[in-house]
Amino acid sequence: MDAVACTTLNGRPVAVTGSETLRVWDLATSEPVGAPIDVGGRVSALTVAMTPDGPVAVTGTTNARVRVWDLASGLDRGELEGAERIYVTALATTELDGHPVVVALAQGRKVHVWNLETRRRLATFESRDAHVHHVACTQLEGRPVAVVSSLDRWLTVWDLKARRRVGSFGNDGDALMSLACTSLAGRPVAVCGSFNGVRVWDLSVSRPLGRPVTGHIRRVSAMDVGELNGRPVFVTGSHDQTVRIWDAHTGSPIGDSMKGHWHDVRSVACTMLRGRSIAVTASWDGTVRAWDLECQVTHAHLTGPSERLTSVTCDVLDGRPVVIGSAQDDSLWTWDLATGKALYPPLPSAVGARRAMASTVTAGRLIAITSGEGVTQFWDLADRRSIAGIRHSAVAIACADIGGRPAMVTCGRDATVQVRDLATGRLLGPPMPGHSRPAQSVRCGTLDGRPVAVTCSIDDTVRIWDLENCTPVDTLHVPGVSQAVLLDDTGRLACAFGSDVAIFTRQ
């Protein structure tokens, strides 16, 4: 899919997607509406508009054609005047003198405006900025305007009625990668995204509003839920080498990114130490850091492994927080978080530790679970020995408490989710199918007072499972999802996809 836009069709909300064809999707049912529409090339730009004859889509394609499509019938309404050999990189729609118009950015410096009812070209602007890249439309002092961004970090505002430039201002930082327009407190604003974050500009005065809103700039690879000053938060680690704290109620970042790792952050685990909130992170730079979330500084460095760690977990043993880490050479490491020193000597060659690892405390003993080479094994970390094993290969593991019984949840290579008694390794119910591809992470929590597991898979779904009955509860479709955790008992869910995070709530 190369482009997407939303509109209504027969009173129902729909999404229009473009690639080799156009497809219309009913957003209420997630089902396609009608047959695919052959647009005669690969879609390079897409927008939608409402005309007197109904909703239409406007496409630019890689073979340099710009055409209008009737979404109800799928019929071609024709090519826009003078657009026979125009390669369009971006499209936006608005109204001019009561008629729907489309604004198109052509490769180079051209900005074209067409009437969608007649398909006649109304104007062509020559931008002074090189490589115009994005366009969005809004109203400025009651007049329709087009806001155009360029790769050289400039925003230009064009009055579509007067057909002239009415504003131009530079954006500090990196090149603009996305653009949208809306209103804020009754004033028109442009929202610009770059590698440095998101910045809001007041179009009336051509000035930025507040500080840039920042987040991760590369894939989020780890996530855990914690607490900060009595408020629930979640903490993320990313391939951009940073760690971030997010408000679990609003989804807004708290403070700046925490920097110190010089390679991908691969694992995050949250805990408490002497009343202070701590996040422990493992990076492929070979280091393990404990961060004080209130001060947003490194509290301690946990040292020892010669190989980089692939995951970390936190537990409480005899009232003191401990950290368990699995390394690339399948060794297991245990630290006392208060001292930053090793609690036990490392356990070498815990088969599969680098692929899947979880930990728990049962009967006063610190236990790690690893899986690899067709076997899932249980390790007593104090005695540095295997205490049990079962013939089962898991991609991801988590521990849970089910009615006072310690249990583990595994995501198998066969794409099923299994719940097992931690003491015996026996299944507590039938394997649960649902994912079409193996789940890459599993986290446990409670939902409406019942123990559940949350799994996310490369099949682009997040699934919630009832652990007592071994039955599915809900499914959420999130393209590109890599991590998912429950934030509270009501079902609020934090998901990471790409470099973004979002909070979903149950209806």
* Range(s) of the domain holding residue 273: 216-302
**Are β-strands 164-170 and 385-390 bridged in parallel, bridged antiparallel, or unpaired?**
unpaired
CATH number of domain containing 76: 2.130.10.10
* pLDDT of the residue at 59: 94
**Rounded-to-integer distance, Cα 143 and Cα 272, Å:** 55
Nearest residue to 7 (alpha-carbon basis) of 44, 35, 43, 49: 49
Asked if 281 and 366 sit in the same domain, the reply is: no
* pLDDT of the residue at 488: 92
The rounded mean pLDDT for the chain is 90
Asked if 85 and 96 sit in the same domain, the reply is: yes
Nearest residue to 338 (alpha-carbon basis) of 435, 272, 404: 272
Percent of the chain scored above 70 by pLDDT? 96
pLDDT of residue 155 exceeding 90, the answer is: no
Burial of 65 (0-12, 13-18, 19+ CB in 10 A): buried
Question: At which residue do the structure tokens 């939303």 appear?
Answer: 6
Banded model confidence at residue 177, pLDDT cuts 50, 70, 90: confident
Q: Which helix (H) or strand (E) holds 418?
A: strand 417-421
The amino acid occupying position 205 is: V
**Rounded-to-integer distance, Cα 350 and Cα 283, Å:** 20
> Which of 46-55, 124-133, 370-379 is the least confident region?
124-133
* pLDDT of the residue at 110: 84
- The last residue of one of the domains, among 372, 391, 410, is 391
Q: Measure Cα distances from 276 to 86, 225, 271, 299, 338 in Å.
A: 60, 15, 9, 11, 11
pLDDT of residue 25 exceeding 90, the answer is: yes
pLDDT of residue 362 exceeding 60, the answer is: yes
Contact between 45 and 64 under an 8 Å Cβ cutoff? The reply is no
Query: CB atoms < 10 A from the CB of 195, how many?
Result: 13
Q: Which helix (H) or strand (E) holds 472?
A: strand 471-477
Arithmetic mean of pLDDT, 411-438: 94
- Between 50 and 155, name the one with better pLDDT: 50
Asked if 103 and 229 sit in the same domain, the reply is: no
Joined tokens for residue 45? 């730009």
pLDDT of residue 354 exceeding 90, the answer is: no
Asked if 328 and 263 sit in the same domain, the reply is: no
- The last residue of one of the domains, among 190, 213, 236, is 213
Banded model confidence at residue 498, pLDDT cuts 50, 70, 90: confident
- Order across the sheet with 242-247: list the strands: 220-228, 231-238, 242-247, 253-259
**Rounded-to-integer distance, Cα 184 and Cα 165, Å:** 23
Rg (CA), the chain: 27
In 11-48, which positions are buried (b, 16+ CB within 10 angstroms) versus exposed (e)? Answer: eeebbbbbeeebbbbeeeeeeebeeebebeeebbbbbb
Task: Return the SS3 of 331.
Answer: coil
Q: Model confidence over 199-254: pLDDT tens digits?
A: 788 888 888 887 666 788 889 999 999 999 999 999 999 999 999 999 999 888 99
**Rounded-to-integer distance, Cα 262 and Cα 271, Å:** 23
CATH number of domain containing 240: 2.40.10
pLDDT of residue 3 exceeding 70, the answer is: yes
Asked if 224 and 84 sit in the same domain, the reply is: no
Asked if 256 and 345 sit in the same domain, the reply is: no
Task: Return the SS3 of 430.
Answer: coil
Q: Measure Cα distances from 83 to 21, 43, 112, 305, 452 in Å.
A: 20, 15, 9, 62, 56
Banded model confidence at residue 174, pLDDT cuts 50, 70, 90: low
Asked if 352 and 486 sit in the same domain, the reply is: no
Asked if 229 and 147 sit in the same domain, the reply is: no
Arithmetic mean of pLDDT, 105-119: 88
Asked if 149 and 7 sit in the same domain, the reply is: yes
Q: Model confidence over 430-477: pLDDT tens digits?
A: 999 999 999 999 999 999 999 999 999 999 999 999 999 999 999 999
**Rounded-to-integer distance, Cα 82 and Cα 133, Å:** 21
Asked if 355 and 372 sit in the same domain, the reply is: yes
How many structural domains comprise the chain?
Answer: 4
* pLDDT of the residue at 218: 87
Asked if 295 and 314 sit in the same domain, the reply is: no
Joined tokens for residue 26? 């009913």
Query: CB atoms < 10 A from the CB of 304, how many?
Result: 16
In 349-384, which positions are buried (b, 16+ CB within 10 angstroms) versus exposed (e)? Answer: ebbbbbbbbbbbeeeeebbbbbbbeebbbbbbbbee
Asked if 263 and 130 sit in the same domain, the reply is: no
* pLDDT of the residue at 213: 66
* pLDDT of the residue at 314: 97
- The last residue of one of the domains, among 371, 391, 411, is 391
